[in-house]
């Protein structure tokens, strides 16, 4: 379970091995929305973006090159790029970042549009595409896509836990800030029709958000984001 999204990566490179080395931190481990796919997607999608930059290849094109012609993820990659206007931003002074992921029986991709206020990142827009099999209640799916983006952004931009003398320092929302209403970007959702088995929608929308945002921030700053949260 710890290697979800990495060990079963749809990119399928020829030389590939995924291993896990447990580390005892003294902090109890709990599950969150997206479980292990969240951190694994951040690592994988950030690394792919870094490879694209180093190789002078468009990040979307690199993913398409690595995906099999019949890969399920290919469709959402292409749709997210098309529907977001990739690689163009909607306004001057903004940059865009891309990420995708497959988990919990669904596939999704997101494009994040950000700018920098000094060194502080501002997320303006997220284009989110999901293919989760037949959809019975589109409004419920859109709500999950929007809520997943909000939760992911909160963990990227604000939420931080620190330890001192063996205890957590944060005690309430005055010293553990979460995403505020005025920081919430526009979330544009697209649900693709599909006849595949019904997949999840609550968790698959979370993993791509952090790498999409951080890939955009990395492009704006000219240096790679390797540690979260940013705030």
Tens-digit pLDDT string for the chain (231 aa):
788 888 888 887 778 888 888 888 777 778 789 999 999 999 999 999 999 999 999 999 999 999 999 999 999 999 999 999 999 999 999 999 999 999 999 999 999 999 999 989 999 999 999 999 999 999 999 999 999 999 999 999 999 989 899 889 999 999 999 999 999 999 999 999 999 999 999 999 999 999 999 999 999 999 999 999 986
pTM flag (> 0.95): no
Please, is 93 exposed, middle or buried when counting C-beta atoms within 10 Å of its C-beta (0-12, 13-18, 19+)? exposed
Give the C-alpha separation, 21 to 211, whole Å.
23
Contact 134, 194 (CB under 8 A): yes
Q: What is the CA radius of gyration of the chain?
A: 17
The secondary structure element, H or E, covering residue 45 is: helix 37-55
Structure-token pair, residue 215? 């890939």
Residue length of the chain: 231
Structure-token pair, residue 171? 């005690």
Q: What are the backbone angles phi and psi of residue 185, rounded to the nearest 5°? A: -80, 170
């Amino acid at each position: 379970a710890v290697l979800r999204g990495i060990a079963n990566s749809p990119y399928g490179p020829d030389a590939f091995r995924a291993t896990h080395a447990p580390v005892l931190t003294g902090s109890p481990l709990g599950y969150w929305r997206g479980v292990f796919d969240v951190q694994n997607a951040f690592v994988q999608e950030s690394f792919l973006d870094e490879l694209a930059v180093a190789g002078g290849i468009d990040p979307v094109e690199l993913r398409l090159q690595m995906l099999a012609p019949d890969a399920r993820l290919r469709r959402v990659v292409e749709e997210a790029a098309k529907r977001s206007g990739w690689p163009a931003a909607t306004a001057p002074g903004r940059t865009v970042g891309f990420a995708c992921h497959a988990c919990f029986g669904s596939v999704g991709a997101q494009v994040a549009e950000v700018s920098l206020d000094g060194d502080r990142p501002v997320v303006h827009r997220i284009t989110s595409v999901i293919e989760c099999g037949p959809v019975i209640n589109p409004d419920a799916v859109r709500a999950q896509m929007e809520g997943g983006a909000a939760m992911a952004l909160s963990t990227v931009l604000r939420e931080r836990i620190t330890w001192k003398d063996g205890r957590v320092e944060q005690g309430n929302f005055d010293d553990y800030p979460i995403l505020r209403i005025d920081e919430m970007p526009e979330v544009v959702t697209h649900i693709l029709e599909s006849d595949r088995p019904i997949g999840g929608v609550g968790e698959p929308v979370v993993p791509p958000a952090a790498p999409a945002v951080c890939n955009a921030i990395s492009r704006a700053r000219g240096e790679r984001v390797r540690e979260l949260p940013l705030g």
